[in-house]
Amino acid sequence: IARHEGMETLWSGMGPSLILVSNPSVQFVSYEKLKQFAISMKGLSTNDNLPHDGAMESVEEESLGPELSGVEYFLLGAVAKLIATLVTYPIQIAQTRLRANRKKNQTARKKENNEIAEKTTENKDKEVNAGKYSGTFDCLLDIYKRDGIQGLYRGVDAKIMQTCLNAAFMFTAYEKIYAAIFRLFFQRKKTLKS
């Protein structure tokens, strides 16, 4: 690859991939903020007073804080993933376009090197368009100029259905398992004290 396409090809597409790493971060931060908001709206106190250094022996069962319903966790997880998807989806669109752009460049080079096709107007247009993006933000700007905000979110509905449902089930399971583990821990603690 490096010999035929250049050393930079080995790292092509790395920029968008590094930006997309933020999706789970946005998801988890959104989830925690939404959960705190839901708990405060129910008039319950949060479990922010729990020790984070492993000193659980000093914690009483009542101080573990409130538990929301499974449906509430499900909705919070779905909304958190919706937020993360809406924030990062345009980068996914740009990444897809940049990959397609790279394939067009490869096709144009092969045709040029092999001199298989004659230089028709169609081939010249393909070659001109093949190298049209200089990077991620150039691609995003081009999409926005051509198609507006709708272009940046084309196909997002299918992505939302896929990812939000997955995240909703994941957060519901996480919260329920977390609560079950702490209930078991405190039952064991009470048994040992007796």
pLDDT digits (tens, 9 = 90+) for 86-122: 999 999 999 888 888 776 665 655 666 555 545 554 4
Among 30, 155, 138, 43, residue whose Cα is nearest residue 94? 138
Specify the pLDDT at position 167.
Answer: 96
User: Is the pLDDT confidence value at 155 over 70?
Assistant: yes
Specify the pLDDT at position 119.
Answer: 52
Mean pLDDT of 41-50: 63
Q: Name the token pair of 66.
A: 């409130």
Number of H helices, E strands in the chain: 7, 0
In angstroms, rounded to a whole number, what is the distance separating the alpha carbons of residues 136 and 149? 16
Contact (Cβ atoms closer than 8 angstroms) between residue 155 and residue 86: no
Please list the alpha-helical segments (H only) found in 115-155: 121-130, 136-152
In angstroms, rounded to a whole number, what is the distance separating the alpha carbons of residues 98 and 124? 20
Specify the pLDDT at position 104.
Answer: 63
Instruction: Mean pLDDT check: name the lowest of 14-23, 25-34, 134-143.
Output: 14-23
pLDDT in tens, 50-88: 444 455 555 555 545 567 899 999 999 999 999 999 999
In angstroms, rounded to a whole number, what is the distance separating the alpha carbons of residues 161 and 110? 39
